[in-house]
């Protein structure tokens, strides 16, 4: 790198880094990759270089992760990391129950905050984080990674170019079979299935569905939700059986601004027979599209088949064959890394970053209202959350 390039070095406290998301998506695939590429490019003569410090409770895990990632600094003492003026950003990927207190501590220490979702376990606490950050004058952000998935970016492009005409409905299918842990190792940690530890499909995924729907299709205005705990017993990381106390599936309908209806099935007890672990189908007056995590297919009005109902003969139409794949017209980077780069630019250069703690509170609100709908067996309206 040329000696004429100005480097903005910025310390980043990464708390909860030894967890699955903290290690894989935020450290190895985001911050480490940003460091390896020489920082975030602002211009030919200016870059932003994050300098992480790894924070967690287990010193042995932190030391191993430090060696694997090449990040030299780590500590089990959060107060020590917060006291260092070089550390300007606090990032939190701890368990949900630990998040709010740590974020408030970081805000009180004058740090800019960026955190995973859900930001809290109730809307009031999530709003408290937003108001605290605003009062302290620190910058803040919430991870909303799915907005930068290639499949969803292709959907956004179709929307922006008017492909759909008037959007009528959105249908989301999410999930896969998570093994119980007795015969095969489960793909998710046991706390996900314990309500008392902050687990549950509704709290985990409705935060995602809120920002996806709000940003791509229309603000969520009401919800009707039915949750379920399909698998009653699982085995934890030590092979011990436990009773599942959290919902592992949710079946929801959302009413969006503009009269759009969205339906989402979310389950960790479903076997996949679709194009991806998450698929979104958008139907409009002029065309439809189906997106997975990375790929997207479309069917315009002029290529829509004209089926006739006749259960007495084999279906003559190959419905899957009538869709055209949307080409990759740009290079797509890791979605978490893209948002990290945007947040670093926001902190250092003041670039716009609309995905703050208020948006995080909206995700918590949808989860909370989804649980209320399930409990009351009724449609629930979402009141607006104002700055």
Q: Does residue 386 register a pLDDT over 90?
A: no
Note the pLDDT of residue 231: 98
At 387 the pLDDT is 80
Of residues 145, 148, 191, 144, the one with CA closest to residue 19: 191
Cβ neighbours for 309, distance < 8 A, ≥ 6 positions apart: none
Q: Give the residue carrying structure tokens 């670039």.
A: 351
Q: Looking at the structure, tell me whether residues 299 and 339 fall in a common domain.
A: no
User: Mean pLDDT lowest for which of 1-10, 93-102, 323-332?
Assistant: 1-10
Average pLDDT over residues 314-324: 94
Average pLDDT over residues 99-128: 97
3-state SS, residue 109? coil
Q: Residue 31, by phi and psi: left (phi above 0), alpha (psi -120 to 50) or beta?
A: alpha
| Interatomic CA distance for residues 47 and 7, integer angstroms | 5
Phi, psi of 376 (to 5 degrees): -90, -10
- Whole-angstrom distance, CA of residue 118 vs CA of residue 362: 10
- Of 10, 56, 51, 57, the C-alpha closest to 31 is 51
Mark whether 76 and 120 lie in a shared domain: yes
Whether the predicted pLDDT of 57 surpasses 70: yes
Looking at the fold, whether 267 and 223 belong to one and the same domain comes out as yes
What is the average pLDDT across 345-349?
Answer: 98
385 within some domain:
no
Sign for the pseudo-dihedral over CA of 172, 21, 29, 356: positive
The verdict on residue 1 lying in a domain is no
Q: Are strands 112-115 and 87-92 parallel, antiparallel or unpaired?
A: parallel
Residues 6+ apart with CB under 8 A from 97: 121, 197, 198
Q: What is the pLDDT of residue 222?
A: 98
What is the mean predicted confidence (pLDDT) over 206-232?
Answer: 98
pLDDT digits (tens, 9 = 90+) for 242-296: 999 999 999 999 999 999 999 999 999 999 999 999 999 999 999 999 999 999 9
Sign (positive or negative) of CA dihedral 314, 319, 321, 322: positive
* The token pair that represents 270 in the structure block: 């479903």
Across the chain, mean pLDDT equals: 96
Decide: 158 and 280 in contact? Cβ < 8 Å.
Answer: no
The alpha carbons of the chain give a radius of gyration, in whole angstroms, of 22
Determine, yes or no, domain membership for 266: yes
319 and 196 belong to one structural domain? yes
Q: 121 and 65: one domain?
A: yes
In the prediction, which pLDDT does 2 show? 59
Give residue 329's pLDDT: 86
- Co-location of 327 and 349 in the same domain: no
123 and 229 fall within a common domain: no
pLDDT for 1 equals: 56
Bridge partner list, 296: 291
| Neighbouring-strand partners of residue 261 | 169, 255
Task: Indicate the pLDDT class of residue 64, thresholds 50, 70 and 90.
Answer: very high
Q: Are residues 41 and 153 in the same domain?
A: no
Q: Structurally, how many domains does the chain consist of?
A: 2
Residue 345, C-beta contacts closer than 8 angstroms, at least 6 positions apart: 40, 42, 48, 351, 353
Residue 105: CB atoms within 10 A of its CB come to 16
Domain containing 308: what range?
A: 148-333+364-380
CA distances to 1, 28, 48, 50, 177 from 41, in Å: 12, 19, 7, 12, 40
Structure confidence at residue 4 as a pLDDT band (50, 70, 90): confident
Instruction: Read off the pLDDT of each residue in 6-35 and give the average, rounded to a whole number.
Output: 96
Q: Which of 111, 7, 32, 51 is nearest to 334 (CA)?
A: 32
CATH number of residue 373's parent domain = 3.30.360.10
Whether the CB-CB separation of 121 and 94 falls below 8 Å is answered with: no
Residue 93 shares a structural domain with residue 59: yes
Q: Report yes or no on 52 lying in a domain.
A: yes
Q: Indicate whether 95 belongs to any domain.
A: yes
Pairing, β 249-256 against β 220-228: antiparallel
- DSSP labels, 357-378: HHHHHHHHHHHHHHHHHHHHTS
Q: Give domain status of residue 387, yes or no.
A: no
The pLDDT tens digits of the residues spanning 139-179 come to: 999 999 999 999 999 999 999 999 999 999 999 999 999 99
pLDDT more than 70, % of the chain: 99
Q: Establish if 53 belongs to a structural domain.
A: yes
174 and 228 fall within a common domain = yes
Q: For residues 262 and 196, state if they share a domain.
A: yes
**Site of tokens 């907005």:** 147
How many residues does this entry show for the chain? 387
Q: Of all helices (H) and strands (E), which one includes residue 205?
A: helix 201-216
CATH code: domain of residue 342: 3.40.50.720
Q: Is the pTM of this model over 0.85?
A: yes
Same domain for 211 and 124? no
What is the pLDDT averaged over residues 234-238?
Answer: 96
User: Per the domain annotation, does 44 fall within a domain?
Assistant: yes
Task: For residue 82, give the nearest of 11, 144, 19 by alpha carbon.
Answer: 11
């Amino acid at each position: 790198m040329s000696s004429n390039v100005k480097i903005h070095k910025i310390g980043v406290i990464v708390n909860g880094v030894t967890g699955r998301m903290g290690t894989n998506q935020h450290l190895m695939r985001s911050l480490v990759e940003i460091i390896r590429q020489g920082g975030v490019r602002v211009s030919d003569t200016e870059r932003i270089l994050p300098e992480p410090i790894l924070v967690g409770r287990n010193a042995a895990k932190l030391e191993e992760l430090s060696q694997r990632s090449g990040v030299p600094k780590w500590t089990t003492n959060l107060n020590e990391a917060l006291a260092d003026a070089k550390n300007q950003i606090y990032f939190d990927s701890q368990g949900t129950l630990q998040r709010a207190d740590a974020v408030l501590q970081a805000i009180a220490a004058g740090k800019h905050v960026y955190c995973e979702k859900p930001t809290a376990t109730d809307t009031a606490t999530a709003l408290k984080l937003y108001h605290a950050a605003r009062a302290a004058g620190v910058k803040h952000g919430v991870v909303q990674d799915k907005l930068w998935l290639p499949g969803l970016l292709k959907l956004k492009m179709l929307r922006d170019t008017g492909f759909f005409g008037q959007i009528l409905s959105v249908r989301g299918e999410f999930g896969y079979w998570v093994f119980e842990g007795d015969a095969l190792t489960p793909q998710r940690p046991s706390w996900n299935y314990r309500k008392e530890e902050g687990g549950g499909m509704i709290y985990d995924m409705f935060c995602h569905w809120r920002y996806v729907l709000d940003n791509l299709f229309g603000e969520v205005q009401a919800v009707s939700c039915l949750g379920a705990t399909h698998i009653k017993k699982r085995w934890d990381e030590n092979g011990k059986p436990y009773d599942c106390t959290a919902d592992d599936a949710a079946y929801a309908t959302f009413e969006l601004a503009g009269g759009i209806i969205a339906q989402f099935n979310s389950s960790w007890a479903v076997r996949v027979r679709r194009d991806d672990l998450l698929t979104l189908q958008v139907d409009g007056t002029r065309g439809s599209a189906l997106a997975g995590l990375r790929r997207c297919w479309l069917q315009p009005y002029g290529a829509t088949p004209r089926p006739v109902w006749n259960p007495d003969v084999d279906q003559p139409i190959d419905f899957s064959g009538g869709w055209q794949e949307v080409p990759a017209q740009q290079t797509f980077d890791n979605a978490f890394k893209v948002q990290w780069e945007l947040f670093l630019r926001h902190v250092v250069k003041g670039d716009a970053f609309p995905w703050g703690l208020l948006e995080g509170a909206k995700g918590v609100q949808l989860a909370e209202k989804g649980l209320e709908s399930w409990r009351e067996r009724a449609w629930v309206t979402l009141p607006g959350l104002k700055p």
